[in-house]
Amino acid sequence: MNLVVVESPAKAKTIKKYLGKGFEVLASYGHVRDLVPKEGAVEPDNNFNMRYQLIERNQRHVKDIEKALRKSDTLYLATDPDREGEAIAWHLSELLKAKKAFRDIPMKRVVFHEITKKAVQTAMDEAHELSMNLVNAQQARRALDYLVGFNLSPLLWKKIRRGLSAGRVQSPALRMIVEREEEIEAFKAREYWTLEADLEADKTAFSSRLVRLQGEDLEKFSITHEKQATAAQQLLSEAGKEGLRVAELKKRQRKRNPAAPFTTSTLQQEASRKLGFGTQRSMRIAQQLYEGIDTGEGAVGLITYMRTDSVNLANEALDEIRELISSKFGADNLPDKPRFFKTKAKNAQEAHEAIRPTSAMRQPDQIKSYLTKDQLRLYELIWKRTIACQMIHATINTVTVELDCGEGNRFRANGSIIAKPGFMQLYREGRDDKKGTDDKDKLLPPMKEGDCIALNQIRSEQHFTEPPPRYGEASLVKTLEEYGIGRPSTYASIISTLQNREYVTLEKKRFQPTDVGRVVSHYLTRFFNNYVDYNYTAGLEDELDAVSRGEMSWLSLLEQMWKPFIELVNGAQDGERFPPPEPISDEVCPKCGGELLKKFGKHGYFIACNNYPDCNYTRNLNEDARDEPEIVEDRKCPECGSDLLIRSGRYGKFIGCSAYPKCKHMEPLEKPQDTGIECPVCKKGSILKRKSRRGKIFYSCSTYPKCDYALWNEPVAGPCPDCGWPILTIKTTKSKGTQIVCPQKECKYAVDAETEEV
């Protein structure tokens, strides 16, 4: 018997089907070893020795692998085809060697870039040795992350507050978000005006923009206030009352080429734009499509490996794609030869393929009944992008019309029409931060030079320049990739770490730094600028790539990073806390008359008296000193009998005891509303409508914390017709509107709210 080890049980099931008898396929369930979670896991003074331990949750799986190996003739390590997968294979082999599970049997490395019968059998035939260059590159990355995190984080605890962390890659990403926010705050809007002529020709209305006034070509800020705009409007209305003359008409044809097939980052960006998926959601669904879905004839991998920065397509795939284009869209939509792309990403590993369907012939409509809604949407996105990239270019006819309005005044109208859609009939790439409509997409009526075009009116419009937009998930991933920061497998974890640490919040799908995020970023930028510098971080990625190619020693990489870094850390131990208190110049402490300071604490900035601890006066930063806390009438503190006050805190107003800090009783200002629906879990409490700390409505059991059942959607009394769960919920989405749905994840019951009695 031969033993094959993969990372996930879903992949194991799919591969087992292809290998058949004579093969046992087991899953490692991801990483099997990691650094010991304490100081000294990496020993710089001992040649960067790394101390590993078995991950407890995977102990049982390692035992199963060990047991199966003792009865096997060959071990095939088939973890994911990247550095992380190579390292998992190596760690597993080291564990098995330590347990003396090997009996002089061969150990081989296998990589599956796609999970189809042919690909699996080909990969097994091409089994090879473990690549220690890839393993060492991953070890170097892990050691770097540990050394930076384990030395910077305690410093942040000491200088700012407890519970903070810094990371080699997350910190430059945080700096990006903070610097963009400060750029927005420093931005000063400038006023400018434009003038447009509403025209009509051949019973078709269109508009044109003023580009020349009284012989001078206009720039963006040529007209900057209403008085100028009104004067120009009057002049042009008079000059054009007999109509505008077509002075020049330019026609040309341009070609638009399709976008390259997906890499990890472009998939994450496009899934965010088109589907509204976050990076983690996109990667989770892509993993499911890669590992295998049962499409009626057993499980099959539907896409190639989803962690890649390559835009290459295999020749075999190109042949199949071209065959499908010819049969489905016609030979006139097929270019003479395949289209090849060059990656824009720094340090791309071109040996891999782009993300593509494992078979172009497996069209989304044919397999939609086997996929969940999210799986289908992502698969369709990948399928369309892949097919479109090999279709003929789109041909677009453009026209520019110059129209004279009296002497020295000129308007310009742009328009276009798609003469031959080519790839655009299947797929168009999304864009970030779209502002209005593109003039070039307008259709213009037929005109010729010398024509007099009727003027309906001259309009003046006021505009203000806008600050750069905040980063969304798609634009942040794109910027990280452009700088060469991180790798395909790390983008999702970078974003989730920043959110989990409460360094940033995601408001209306845009990242905003919190106070603590700003303070951490400012501290690191001031005292560890090199290590949050974009070019330095990208340079480290270059060196890790050199290690993976065998061009650089991983130990020398660690050595050259460690010495200057630890000197900086040691030098930063002394000195004051950060940020230093700022004096408030225009008021004094209302309690003792002392100086007031703006300080940074556990919950962000606040105002405090400089005479602490003799005077304990504090208030929230945005709270007016003249605002006395309001006393709650007809109620006393249930714990000590003192007055209750309406106070302001980090998450808004709440009711607290006036005897604080001796009595710490507090309660929400708004009492939870009882929905009258029995909790389906404990059957004792009822579901209450509550408000989270950040103001979001949710529903939970009244017996909390004894019962922790909670939901985001409004509950509805009555059992689910499909699974019998005691309640349903009202869910509203952009794509489906308002529906009555079952809150149980495994149940798919959903009907439109209009068809159900609520």
On whether the CB atoms of residues 409 and 239 are closer than 8 A, the answer is yes
Q: Give the DSSP letter of residue 425.
A: G
Provide the CA 551 distance to its chain's centre, in angstroms: 33
Would the CA dihedral through 520, 525, 528, 533 be positive or negative? Answer: positive
In angstroms, the CA 478 to CA 471 distance is 10
On whether the CB atoms of residues 146 and 565 are closer than 8 A, the answer is no
Kindly give the pairing relationship between strand 582-588 and strand 595-601.
antiparallel
In angstroms, the CA 449 to CA 404 distance is 11
Phi, psi of 54 (to 5 degrees): -65, 135
The count of other CB atoms within 10 Å of the CB of residue 440 is 13
The four Cα atoms 568, 574, 577, 579 give a dihedral, to 10 degrees, of -40
Annotation says 29 is catalytic: no
Kindly give the pairing relationship between strand 394-404 and strand 410-420.
antiparallel
Strand order in the sheet with 750-752: 714-717, 727-733, 737-741, 750-752
Phi, psi of 734 (to 5 degrees): -65, -40
Of 305, 491, 503, 699, the catalytic one is: 305
Query: What amino acid is encoded at 149 in this protein?
Result: G
On whether the CB atoms of residues 521 and 175 are closer than 8 A, the answer is yes
Strand partners, 691: 697
On whether the CB atoms of residues 51 and 43 are closer than 8 A, the answer is yes
On whether the CB atoms of residues 650 and 604 are closer than 8 A, the answer is yes
**How many residues in the chain?**
758
In angstroms, the CA 471 to CA 713 distance is 28
Tell me which residue of 738, 712, 729, 724 sits closest to 677, measured CA to CA.
Answer: 729
Phi, psi of 88 (to 5 degrees): -60, -45
**Alpha-carbon distances of 645 from 537, 631, 640, 649, 662, rounded to whole Å:** 50, 5, 13, 12, 14
In angstroms, the CA 161 to CA 602 distance is 6
Both tokens of residue 455? 């003027």
**Alpha-carbon distances of 126 from 16, 19, 110, 304, 671, rounded to whole Å:** 18, 15, 7, 18, 66
What is residue 195's three-state secondary structure? strand
In angstroms, the CA 678 to CA 209 distance is 63
Contacts of 414 (CB under 8 A, 6+ apart): 398, 399, 400, 401, 439, 440, 442
Where do the H-state alpha helices sit in 217-276?
Answer: 226-239, 264-270
- The residues assigned a catalytic role are 305
